[in-house]
Structure 1
Amino acid sequence: MAGIGAALERPTPDTKRNVLGVLVDAVDYDVAVEQVLAAARDRRPYCMTALAVHGVMTGVTDPRHRARLNGFDLVTPDGQPVRWALNLLHGAGLREWVSGPELVLQLLPRMAAEDLPIYLYGSTPGTLHDLTAALRQRVPGLSVAGAEASRFRSAGEDELRQIADRIRSSGARAVLVALGCPRQEIFAYAMRSYLDLPLLAVGAAFDFHAGRMRRAPEWMRRRGLSWLWRLALEPRRLWRRYLLLNPAYLAALAAQALGIWRPDPAPRGHPAAPEIVPV
């Protein structure tokens, strides 16, 4: 598996901050969009994800995954609790968070204006069909070079190379990935070795923009209550995530803020990648 998890050179921007051992970038939408566009224009490998509390905690509880996350070029604060952490721990002064769904809406008009096609990877065939139609209607001139549904299983290096070949031959200049956390981050990081273009793990953006799922009202998002909205919609699937991880996140954040715990980020760019990757 020489291609997967090989050490890759990473930029070391001064926006990265330690949140419970996970390096999160203190950036706004404008900076995030410009960084992704620059990588798309230059045809260079680039990995981006937007992490909410659950995403951060996957890195806290799994050192191998933390190392993978800390090898991403850009990790944005998705939701108020992660924005609050950056402001509390590092005085970042951020006025907004940077979510995957909203980033998509701000990025795609710029991609369309510069004639940079996108590729959609993940979710189900039905969602991709609705999403493609919705994005083309919402963003005139947007080129969707291809769309590929998740197989909901794992794949080895040969299959990853085949996926990369399909993406490359489509002419896409960026890939939006929606496989759920942490599967999408594992996939994006592994595929970085094979593709000279940005890979963006955008979470529930596919379901939201395809009209398959409703976003939390603005007032709930502003108060850091998006998790409560999601829990009400999918209680059986999400109760463990939110009712167990949220208190753990707050406790760990308090410990770091008080200096009781000094989490060390794992070395960036050197995670031990799995032999198989979720696709």
Structure 2
Amino acid sequence: MTVEATQDADFAEVVNGADWVATDGVPITWALNMQYGIEQDRIAGFDIMSDLIRRAAEEQLPILFYGSTPDVLNVAVANCRELHPTIRIAGTFSPPFRPLTAAEEEAMISFINQSGARLVFVALGCPKQERWMAHMRGKIQAVMIGIGGALPLLAGTQGRSPAWMRNAGLEWTYRLAMEPRRLFKRYAITNSFFVFRLTKELLGR
């Protein structure tokens, strides 16, 4: 997401305009420390989602999942209810793999607002989910939170890397090993570009 924002001014505006941006990545916390001396912990998307679901169950706040496939959503909801029997699921919405028409978008907005959801977990992947939430600001009457790859973890369709790998900033290697064809090009390019830009900025200082 950081690399995407450095290459796309419109996306940078979307990220910088968000109400809350979390450091979901150990290299980002390292960069903050090296550049600004900020001691920032990693805030993983899966941990945010898990904690908010727990709090929502305790406070009886209805939640809704937007994105992914119907199968993944069904399993995620079932796991939510098993972990938190008091959770209130306002609904799920699996959009098609194409832009919604104006009529479909209006129907989707109406569905979410009428569901009574207070938290909407958005799992469309970066940068699509960030753009979608920015576009929906003021239209959807709920707090929207981008969770990206956290939903498959909740559904159990993907495993989470060991804690030592996450703490060492090596979670990307685990994900790459699980999905080499899909992620090789992305990681090879974005990781290299991130290191290049960080090094350039540090030398400039």
Which TM-score band (shorter chain)?
over 0.9
Residue 19 of structure 2: aligned partner = 73
> Pairwise mapping of residues 1-150 of structure 1 onto structure 2 (< 5 A)?
55-94=1-40, 96-150=41-95
1:102-122 Cα offsets, whole Å, 9 max, x none, are 101111111111111001001
Higher relative contact order (CA 8 A, sep 6+): 1
Matched, 1:181 2:126: yes
1 or 2, which has the higher strand percentage?
A: 1
Residue 105 of structure 2: aligned partner = 160
SS of 2:92's partner is: strand
Alpha-carbon distance, 1:156 to partner: 4.3
* C-alpha contact (below 8 Å) 1:161/1:194 kept by paired residues: no
Residue 36 of structure 1: aligned partner = none
- Comparing 185-194 with 125-134, greater Cα deviation is found at 185-194
Alpha-carbon distance, 1:149 to partner: 1.1
SS of 2:159's partner is: coil
Q: Distance in 2 between matches of 1:85 and 1:139?
A: 36
Matched, 1:255 2:200: yes
Residue 191 of structure 1: aligned partner = 136
Residue 191 of structure 2: aligned partner = 246
What is the TM-score normalised by the length of structure 1? 0.71
1:121-169 Cα offsets, whole Å, 9 max, x none, are 0100100010000011112311110011131111244432221110010
Residue 18 of structure 1: aligned partner = none
Q: Distance in 2 between matches of 1:126 and 1:132?
A: 10
- Comparing 120-129 with 249-258, greater Cα deviation is found at 249-258
Residue 257 and residue 158 in structure 1: after superposition, are their counterparts in 2 closer, same or farther (change >3 A)? Answer: farther
Q: Percent of counterpart pairs with the same letter?
A: 38
Residue 169 of structure 1: aligned partner = 114
Amino acid aligned to 1:216: S
Matched, 1:220 2:165: yes
Alpha-carbon distance, 1:234 to partner: 0.9
What is the TM-score normalised by the length of structure 2? 0.95
* C-alpha contact (below 8 Å) 1:101/1:208 kept by paired residues: yes
SS of 1:151's partner is: coil
Alpha-carbon distance, 1:100 to partner: 1.1
Q: Distance in 1 between matches of 2:158 and 2:133?
A: 23
SS of 2:121's partner is: strand
Q: Distance in 2 between matches of 1:217 and 1:259?
A: 36
1:202-244 Cα offsets, whole Å, 9 max, x none, are 0111100100001111111111111111111111111111111
SS of 2:122's partner is: strand
Which stretches in structure 2 are left out of the alignment for 5+ residues? none
Alpha-carbon distance, 1:193 to partner: 2.7
Q: Distance in 2 between matches of 1:129 and 1:245?
A: 32
Amino acid aligned to 1:169: Q
Moved beyond 6 Å, runs of 4+: none
Q: Distance in 2 between matches of 1:138 and 1:127?
A: 16
Count of residue correspondences: 205
2:154 to 199, 209, 228: 209
* C-alpha contact (below 8 Å) 1:177/1:202 kept by paired residues: yes
* C-alpha contact (below 8 Å) 1:121/1:148 kept by paired residues: yes
Alpha-carbon distance, 1:174 to partner: 1.0
